[in-house]
Amino acid sequence: GGDSAQNYFARTESIAGVQDMRFQELMPDPLLWLGVEQITNFISMSDMKYDAITSSGITIVNRVDIPEELIPEDAKVEIDAKMYAGYYSGDKQVKTWAELTSTVGREL
């Protein structure tokens, strides 16, 4: 029942045709247009966002991982899959490929 962390990116790709079709390099443009030069607390797992922002010249002071208590059970499949794939995880323990089988979504 439901999706699994092991199959997260395969499912995304089978539906969308790609794992992630967002073009992160353009994402900092609105921040630059608004005059943002520094972000004090950046809360995102995405290295693509982080890299796009910092390569545009915006300074990130603190990179903050999402607190465990704020991640709903329904989001565990996505979060565990992304951490395994190398997304920023802060101090969280990244599961092994075998351990990902224990992360499954709710029954459909």
Cα–Cα dist 18/101, whole Å: 23
Cα–Cα dist 60/37, whole Å: 9
Q: Choosing from 22, 29, 51, 106, which is the catalytic residue?
A: 22
User: Is 11 labeled as catalytic in the residue annotation?
Assistant: no
User: Is 29 labeled as catalytic in the residue annotation?
Assistant: no
**For residues 60 and 39, is the Cβ–Cβ distance under 8 A?**
yes
Q: Choosing from 11, 20, 74, 106, which is the catalytic residue?
A: 20
| Residue 90 Cα to chain centre, angstroms | 12
Cα–Cα dist 1/80, whole Å: 17
**For residues 53 and 31, is the Cβ–Cβ distance under 8 A?**
yes
- Residues identified as active-site: 20, 22
